[in-house]
Amino acid sequence: MTRSLTVNLAGEDICLLAEKALYWPRHRALLIADAHFGKAAAYRRLGQPVPAGTTQANLRVLDQLLAEHDCRQIVFLGDFLHAKESHAPPTLAALEEWRARHSEVILTLIRGNHDLRAGDPPAQLGIHVVAEPLLMAPFSLQHEPAPHPTLHVLAGHIHPTYRLQGKGRQSVRAACFYLGDRVSLLPAFGAFTGGVNIDPKPGTRLYLVADGAVWPLAIRNP
């Protein structure tokens, strides 16, 4: 069992992390897709009975990642905030407190579809916000998983999951990294996010995130 797995993608060594993040050693960068900070708060403001504390839980995971990896920057691949209601004072206060403790880390957000609805993060968070794509060869960093003409795409948006089938009706669904020929997907980082089951094609690589570890999955060709 391993909490991280180094793989080569587009000629570059990257680390897939059990915390549903990607570490890029050459750039000392963490890549985070679909954090959806404030999603639970947004649901509660709409009267939905959902758990509290998800923002703090996500920030504790970020604390752990920054403590364990030599990191000078974090790139968020879209959907930093979930909705306009995510600008609730407790959510923003938690983010500001976290940012104050990590003021030396460069933060970049590539706008996703939820960011367009939620609005950019407050200026006091010190996040550089850009439109997709953000080109960092050999990768095109994006929210939407649309192919790039020349670079390999690292994207989010889909929240990829895979369902393992056991004997009888036994099954379990887990978040996953999906590494394709031209486009690769990161799992959703947020603790309160759904997922979409994907059907891996021959030639792709799938890595499940479960039980605090990253597990390579063999894909049989038809």
Residue labelled with tokens 């897939």: 16
Interior/surface letters 159-176, b for 16+ CB within 10 angstroms, e for the rest: bbbbeeeeeeeeeeebbb
Evaluate whether residue 76 is within a structural domain.
yes
Q: Which residue has the tokens 């570059």?
A: 12
Name which of 126, 35, 127, 122 is nearest 82 in CA terms: 35
What are the pLDDT tens digits along the chain (222 aa)? Answer: 588 999 999 999 999 999 999 999 999 999 999 998 986 555 445 555 445 557 899 999 999 999 999 999 999 999 999 777 778 888 999 999 999 999 999 999 999 998 998 899 999 999 999 999 999 999 999 999 999 999 999 999 999 999 877 666 666 789 999 999 999 999 999 876 678 888 888 889 999 998 899 999 877 654
* pLDDT given at position 148: 98
- Give the separation between CA 136 and CA 142, rounded to whole angstroms: 11
Full-model pTM = 0.91
Q: Say how many residues make up the chain.
A: 222
Give the domain range for residue 110: 4-214
| Residue 222 placed within a domain | no
CATH code of the domain in which 60 resides? 3.60.21
Into how many domains does the chain fold? 1
Phi-psi map region of 52: left, alpha, beta (phi>0 left; psi -120 to 50 alpha): beta
Q: Strands 127-130 and 106-110: what pairing?
A: parallel
Q: Report d(CA 172, CA 163) in Å as an integer.
A: 6
In a domain, 67, yes or no: yes
